[in-house]
Amino acid sequence: MSPVTGNDLDLESPESIRINLEKFPGERVTVSLIGGGELQGVVSKVGSQTLYLKELTGREFFDAIIRLEHISAVAVKMRNK
């Protein structure tokens, strides 16, 4: 689980998806795509235009490179009960 809290998130920047993903290296996230799909994996690298997710859930032998402009939402576990 990430030590990042809701107060640490950037919600104002036009690049908030990229900026916030950079705060979760090595964390498992779910990204929702504008086209309607979802991918879940571990954040490996975040570039200026792409996200590299490794260890995709349900596709253990696959990784993905995703264009940041195609991501509509990011879900990450922030707390335990």
pLDDT in tens, 1-52: 567 767 778 778 888 999 999 999 999 999 999 999 999 999 999 999 999 9
pLDDT at position 2 is 62
Residue 81 forms part of a structural domain: no
Residue 61 lies in a domain: yes
pLDDT at 18: 95
User: Residue 30 sits in a domain of what CATH number?
Assistant: 2.30.30.100
Beginning with the edge strand found earlier in the chain, give each strand of the sheet holding 64-67 in spatial order: 64-67, 50-54, 38-46, 28-33, 71-76
Could you tell me the pLDDT band of residue 62, with boundaries at 50, 70 and 90?
very high
pLDDT of residue 73: 95
The range of the structural domain enclosing residue 22 comes to 6-76
Total domains in the chain come to 1
In a domain, 29, yes or no: yes
Is residue 1, in this structure, part of any structural domain at all?
Answer: no
pTM greater than 0.75: yes
